[in-house]
Amino acid sequence: MASTLEIRPLAADDVALANRLGRDAFAAPAEQPDFGDELGRSIAHTWVAVVDGVLVGYALGWLAADEAQLMSIAVDARFRGQGLGRALLERFLDELVRVGARTIVLEVRKGNAPARALYVAMGFELLGERRRYYADGEDAITYRWCAAT
């Protein structure tokens, strides 16, 4: 049977599963979002990917004035490599532009090849590098995406 994909805003009922997804995807607690907190944060915008009724991905961003930051994105490891990350990010960019974002920035671990390839494929441009940005000493790479004028 073909599976169904829905991409929709985070709801209160999603918090436990989204938190677990973040914990599974990121080893460092500082990189694991708390979606309970995010739900109450007016600048936060979170979109989730739901396959056959099960939450399997999220994209979380903060928007201030016309600049957004992609704070975190993750897809359940069992569902990676199937286009879900791209679909989520596409929807996230569309929705953030709809609510006023002109640019979207992000940081990513230098060694995170899958995520970096996704960002470049989506039109993010390299901004710079932050030496030893993460607690374990890894460098961060920063990217920026600009909405079409």
Beta pairing, strands 67-75 & 103-109? parallel
* Helix or strand run (H / E) with residue 20: helix 15-25
Least Cβ distance, residue 149 to ligand COA (angstroms)? 25
Cα separation values, 47 from 2, 25, 109, Å: 22, 16, 22
Interface region with ligand COA, contact rule CB under 6 A, candidates 34-42, 92-100, 111-119, 123-131:
111-119
Q: Which of 58, 95, 119, 143 is flagged as catalytic? A: 119
Active site residue 129: no
How far apart, in whole angstroms, are the C-alpha atoms of residue 129 and residue 143? Answer: 9
Interface region with ligand COA, contact rule CB under 6 A, candidates 60-68, 97-105, 110-118, 131-139:
110-118
Cα separation values, 42 from 1, 31, 91, Å: 39, 20, 19
Which x/- pattern over 11-40 shows residues binding ligand COA (rule: CB under 6 A)? --------------x---------------
| 60 touches ligand COA (CB under 6 A) | no
Q: Which amino acid is at 105?
A: V
- Considering the complex, state which of residue 51 and residue 97 has its C-beta at the smaller distance from ligand COA: 51
Residues that are catalytic = 107, 119
